[in-house]
């Protein structure tokens, strides 16, 4: 079974500080994604990766960067957090079945 | 530009009755559609999908209908159960695509 671990699960930080969220998968799925969930907006894609060192932007990528140095880890970095980045962040992996994503449990970030 | 839209933020139904959740899309290149369910404090989980070559797909109490000419799909839950109370997201993907576009979500409440 696919497994995803997101860390930290909860974080409170201040405006202007850097934040890194980590996503770790237990298998070797090629595609990994970062989404954010906000009321009234649903799930919006931030960045995704289609292999080690291969990443691409999603629809709300401004203010975020990602890195994937190993197949199993996908990092999301907020270089200088802003209050508008207060959200719940979900990591997902793409399973072999068409279109189907498996999501982690989420990381709740609050930027004060 | 919201390419996948769920116009009803919330829906309330009685236990045992039918729940109908609706979704509209604007991108004619979308050819694979999925529904996800999300409980509070958990990640979204895959529920059911449909390819554009079909107009209906059924899985137990859940049926998804696709009307390509209207660019509309719907999820029917019959009979509805209190445990179905969750946020439901519609999602779509283009041919040979690698990223899902989600709608805003509909909060379904099934009353005992």
> B34-76 pLDDT, tens per residue?
999 999 999 999 999 999 999 999 999 999 999 999 999 999 9
A9/B contact by beta carbon, under 8 A: no
Residue of A nearest to B94 (CA): A99
User: In this model, does residue A8 exceed pLDDT 70?
Assistant: yes
pLDDT at position B98 is: 83
What is the DSSP secondary structure assignment for residue A24, as one 8-state letter?
A: E
Cα separation, B27 vs A5, in Å, equals 33
Question: Measured between beta carbons, which residues in chain A are less than 8 angstroms from residue B99?
Answer: 33, 45, 48, 58
In 3D space, the residue among B67, B63, B74 whose CA is nearest the CA of residue B52 turns out to be: B67
Q: How far apart are CA A81 and CA A111, in angstroms?
A: 7
Of A76, A77, A83, the C-alpha closest to A110 is A83
What per-residue confidence (pLDDT) applies to B89?
97
From chain A, pick out residues whose CB is under 8 angstroms from the CB of B51: 98
Strands (E), B1-112: 4-5, 10-14, 19-25, 30-38, 45-51, 56-59, 62-67, 72-77, 86-94, 101-102, 106-111
Task: State whether residue A94 sits within 8 Å of chain B by CB.
Answer: yes
φ, ψ dihedrals at B20, nearest 5°:
-125, 115
Any CB–CB contact under 8 A between B82 and chain A?
no
Pick from A44, A69, A42: nearest CA to A55 = A69
For A75-112, the pLDDT digits (tens) are 999 999 999 999 999 999 998 777 789 999 999 999 99
Write out pLDDT tens, residues A45-83. 999 999 999 999 999 999 999 999 999 999 999 999 999
Instruction: Give residue-wise pLDDT tens across range B2-26.
Output: 899 999 999 999 999 999 999 999 9
Close Cβ partners of A106 (under 8 Å, ≥ 6 residues apart): A6, A9, A37, A88, A89, A90, B41, B42, B43
Mean pLDDT along residues A5-30:
96
Chain B residues with CB-CB distance to A41 below 8 A: 104
Computed from CA positions of residues B21, B53, B48, A99, in that sequence, does the dihedral angle turn out positive or negative? Answer: negative
Check pLDDT > 90 for residue A33: yes
Q: Do B46 and A100 touch (CB under 8 A)?
A: yes
Can you read off the two tokens belonging to residue B9? 């933020």
In chain B, which residues have their Cβ closer than 8 Å to the Cβ of A40? Answer: 9, 104
* Chain A contact for B102 (CB, 8 A cutoff): yes
Say if the Cβ atoms of B102 and A58 lie within 8 Å. no
Cβ-based neighbour number of residue B68 at 10 Å? 15
């Amino acid at each position: 079974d696919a497994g995803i671990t997101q860390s930290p699960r909860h974080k409170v930080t201040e405006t202007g500080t850097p934040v890194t969220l980590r996503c770790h998968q237990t298998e070797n799925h090629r595609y990994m994604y970062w989404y954010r969930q906000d009321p009234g907006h649903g799930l919006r894609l931030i960045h995704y990766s289609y292999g080690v060192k291969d990443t691409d932007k999603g629809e709300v990528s401004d203010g975020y960067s990602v890195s994937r140095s190993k197949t199993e880890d996908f990092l999301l970095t907020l270089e200088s957090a802003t209050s508008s980045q207060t959200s719940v962040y979900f990591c997902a992996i793409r399973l072999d079945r068409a279109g189907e994503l498996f999501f982690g449990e989420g990381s709740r970030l609050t930027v004060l | 530009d919201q390419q996948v839209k769920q116009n009803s933020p919330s829906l309330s139904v009685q236990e045992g009755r039918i729940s109908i959740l609706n979704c509209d899309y604007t991108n004619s290149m979308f050819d694979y559609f999925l529904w996800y369910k999300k409980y509070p404090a958990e990640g979204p989980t895959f529920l059911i999908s449909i390819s554009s070559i079909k107009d209906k797909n059924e899985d137990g109490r859940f049926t998804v209908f696709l009307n390509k000419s209207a660019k509309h799909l719907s999820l029917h839950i019959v009979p509805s159960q209190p445990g179905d109370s969750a946020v439901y997201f519609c999602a779509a993907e283009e041919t040979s695509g690698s990223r899902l576009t989600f709608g805003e979500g509909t909060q379904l409440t099934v009353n005992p």
